[in-house]
Amino acid sequence: MRFPVLPMSTFRSSRATSAPNWMTLSALAALLMFFGTDAADAQSDLDQCKFAGVLTKADDGIAACDRILKDSKTSAQDRASALSNRCGWWWAKKDSDQALTDCNESIRVNRSNAAAYLNRGNVYLSKSDFEHAFADFNEAIRLDPKNAWAHAERGNLYKNKGDFDRALADLNEAIKFDPDYALAYFSRGDLYRSRGDLAHAMTDMNDTLRLDPNYALAYFTRGRLSYMLGNNPAALEDFGKAIKLEADNSIAYFNRGVAYYVIGGRIPDAIVDFTKAAELNPKDAYAALWRDLAERRNNAPGHLAEAAKQLDMTVWPAPVIREFLGELKAEQTFGAAFDTDPQTKVAQTCEANFYSGELAVLKKNKKEAQRLLKLAADTCPPSFIESTAALSELITIK
């Protein structure tokens, strides 16, 4: 299976603004003395309304934007900005319909506001309307060519379209315009990973975590890279940090379980993690498979038959599960792995070889285990967990 991926937040990393100088403070004090508390309240609303991508501040931000929009003295420019910011806050709260209404009105009031196009582009992304999102990111960059966030968002769209060269160009621009932009490093690192450039990917993940030490997805991804490079202790450490930050995410438990599994003497730890992953996501067939593998390896009672009741047994990897349950022979699993789509065929054949090889290990059929695991090691895509696991197993059964 391909490495399961944690959901990625598209919020921009926050960072401190520079401290105001004494002349600015003095001028502000003079203004407050002249205009009174109304000016202070208005400035406070403007500051609170400004979209910063921090979900916990969304309600306060929307309330501040509301006050600005209800104020009859608000200028057209400030009204457009408040609508754009409120659009961002609604998007953060996953209310895409309200967000789209606000962004559309902001652009109607002021068509030169790059932020409104950027926020609306993100709303379109949340609606899976990639064509309109791409058009809005283009317009945001045209209006604000040095906008790092817009370049990063367009870069991610290029990456998803498979246009890696344009994606890399945009992400490089994002980092050039904002060298402290953690998510841009993360996106570029994930792009390098998808292209098999693990060294550059690791460098970018390190920079991501240097800038944002509480970014769970970056720990998870760096753990994946360490696992692919054969550095299981580092993978375990990073998966553990991801779990500490997001304790209810089944995917991090699953991946740490795999890392435990391929390290000698850590099978009981693997069982604990696979069990937790299966509890959090009972419909995850791979968590059920790996839990069964670990339990059998540890001579413990299996739970696959019970778990199968909650799985979709009409789609892959159902044939593998049936083989584990004794309902199919290996030859039947290999036959079921065939698919007219070449990529699907490669993926399913990889898994058929690996899991049948693991069954051969459990049955102490060393020759067959070596043959099948060697096939898996040679033919599985590097991004598949079975690829590294097969290599590790071959070392132990020599």
* pLDDT for the residue numbered 4: 56
* pLDDT for the residue numbered 40: 58
* pLDDT for the residue numbered 323: 98
Radius of gyration of the CA atoms of the chain, in A: 26
* pLDDT for the residue numbered 264: 76
Count CB-CB contacts under 10 A for residue 179: 12
Q: Is the CB of residue 200 less than 8 Å from the CB of residue 192? A: yes
- Distance (Å, whole) CA 53 – CA 98: 16
List the structure tokens of 172: 């490089």
Question: What does the buried/exposed string (b/e) look like for 211-224 if buried means 16 or more CB atoms within 10 Å of the residue's CB?
Answer: bbeebbbbbbbbbb
Cα dist from 200 to 154, 191, 196, 330, 355, whole Å: 21, 10, 9, 39, 31
* pLDDT for the residue numbered 39: 53
Question: What does the buried/exposed string (b/e) look like for 34-63 if buried means 16 or more CB atoms within 10 Å of the residue's CB?
Answer: eeeeeeeebeebbebbbbbbeeebbeebbe
* pLDDT for the residue numbered 14: 35
Looking at the DSSP bridge assignments, the partners of residue 298 are: none
Determine the Cα angle at 386 with ends 331 and 282, to 5°. 90
* pLDDT for the residue numbered 29: 40
**Three-state SS for 2?**
strand
- Distance (Å, whole) CA 138 – CA 11: 19
pLDDT under 50: residue ranges of the chain = 5-37
- Distance (Å, whole) CA 9 – CA 212: 13
3-state helix, strand, coil in the chain (%, to 5): 70, 0, 25
Q: Comparing C-alpha atoms, which of 184, 163, 183, 157 is closest to residue 173?
A: 184
* pLDDT for the residue numbered 41: 62
Q: Comparing C-alpha atoms, which of 120, 151, 125 is closest to residue 136?
A: 120
